[in-house]
Amino acid sequence: MTDQYELTSTFCAKPQQFAWFIGAGTSAVAGLPTAWDIIWDLKRRQYCREESQDISRQDVQVGAIRSRIQSYMLSKGYPAEGDPGEYTAYFQNIFGEDKERQRQYLTAVLSEDKVTLSVGNRVLGALLSTGRTRAVFTTNFDSVVERAVAEVSGRSLSAYHLEGAASANSAVSNEEFPFYCKLHGDFRYDSIKNLRSDLAAQNEDLSKALINAANRFGFIVSGYSGRDESVMNLLRSALSTPNPFPHGLFWTGMKKAPVLPPVERLLEDARDAGVNASYVEVETFDALMLRFWRNIEGKEPDIDAKVQKTRRASVSIPMPGPGRGQIVRMNALPITGMPGECQALTFKSPKEWSDLRTAASVNEGRLIFTKSDTIMCWGEEALIRGHFPDIASVSRQDISAKIADMGNHLYIKQFLEEAMCHALVRDRPLLTRTTKAGSYLIADAHSSDQSALEPLQKAVGKTSGRMAGVFAPVDDKHPQAEQVSWAEALRVSFQIVDGKNWLLLDPDIWVWPPRARPEAGTFLDKRRGDRYNNLYNEILDAWLSVLFGEHDRKTGFKISAYEGGTAIETPSFTIGARTAFTRRLAS
In angstroms, the CA 386 to CA 388 distance is 6
**Does residue 121 fall inside a structural domain?**
yes
Strands 500-512 and 464-472: unpaired
pLDDT band for 441, please (50, 70, 90 cuts).
Answer: very high
Report the range of poorest mean pLDDT among 74-88, 142-156, 222-236: 74-88
The backbone torsions φ and ψ at residue 391, rounded to the nearest 5 degrees and listed phi first, read: -70, 140
Q: Which of 55, 79, 109 is the last residue of a domain?
A: 109
What pTM, to 2 d.p., does this model score? 0.53
CB half-sphere exposure, 326, CA atoms < 13 A: 5
- Tell me what pLDDT residue 317 has: 58
Same domain, 56 and 123: no
**Does residue 315 fall inside a structural domain?**
no
In angstroms, the CA 292 to CA 280 distance is 14
- Tell me the per-residue pLDDT of 402-419, one tens digit each, with 9 for 90 and over: 888 877 677 888 899 999
Same domain, 79 and 142: no
Strands 375-378 and 332-337: unpaired
The backbone torsions φ and ψ at residue 54, rounded to the nearest 5 degrees and listed phi first, read: -120, 95
Q: Are 8 and 2 in contact, with CB atoms under 8 Å apart? A: no
Coil/strand/helix, residue 503: strand
pLDDT band for 204, please (50, 70, 90 cuts).
Answer: confident
Residues in Cβ contact with 519 at an 8 Å cutoff, skipping those fewer than 6 apart: 470, 471, 472, 473, 484
Q: Which of 109, 130, 164 is the last residue of a domain?
A: 109
User: Percentage of residues in the chain with pLDDT exceeding 70?
Assistant: 84
**Does residue 318 fall inside a structural domain?**
no
Same domain, 281 and 359: no
**Does residue 314 fall inside a structural domain?**
no
Same domain, 246 and 275: yes
Strand-pairing partners, residue 371, are: 375
**Does residue 324 fall inside a structural domain?**
no
**Does residue 319 fall inside a structural domain?**
no
Domain hosting residue 55, numbered range = 35-109
Same domain, 356 and 236: no
Q: Which of 109, 134, 167 is the last residue of a domain?
A: 109
Q: Are 28 and 117 in contact, with CB atoms under 8 Å apart? A: no
Same domain, 234 and 170: yes
Same domain, 263 and 361: no
Coil/strand/helix, residue 175: coil
* CATH number for the domain that contains residue 170: 3.40.50.1220
Q: Are 433 and 442 in contact, with CB atoms under 8 Å apart? A: yes
Reference 503, options 439, 584, 586; nearest CA is 439
Same domain, 250 and 262: yes
- Tell me what pLDDT residue 312 has: 45
Checking if the pLDDT of 190 tops 80, the result is: no
* Domains: count for the chain: 3
Coil/strand/helix, residue 328: strand
Residues in Cβ contact with 401 at an 8 Å cutoff, skipping those fewer than 6 apart: none
Same domain, 26 and 137: yes
Same domain, 61 and 145: no
Strand-pairing partners, residue 341, are: 398
Across 250-275, average pLDDT:
92
**Does residue 158 fall inside a structural domain?**
yes
- Tell me the per-residue pLDDT of 490-526, one tens digit each, with 9 for 90 and over: 999 988 887 888 999 999 999 999 888 888 989 999 9
Same domain, 432 and 502: yes
Report the range of poorest mean pLDDT among 206-215, 243-252, 363-372, 475-484: 475-484
**Does residue 321 fall inside a structural domain?**
no
Same domain, 164 and 273: yes
Q: For the chain, what's the residue count?
A: 587
- The residue type found at 467 is M
- Write the secondary structure of 118-157 as one string of H (helix), E (strand) and C (coil): CHHHHHHHHHHHCCCCCEEEECCCCCHHHHHHHHHHCCCC
- The residue type found at 286 is D
- Dmax (CA) for the chain in angstroms is 75
- Tell me what pLDDT residue 110 has: 62
In angstroms, the CA 96 to CA 263 distance is 30
Q: How far is CA 336 from the centre of its chain?
A: 29
Q: How far is CA 355 from the centre of its chain?
A: 21
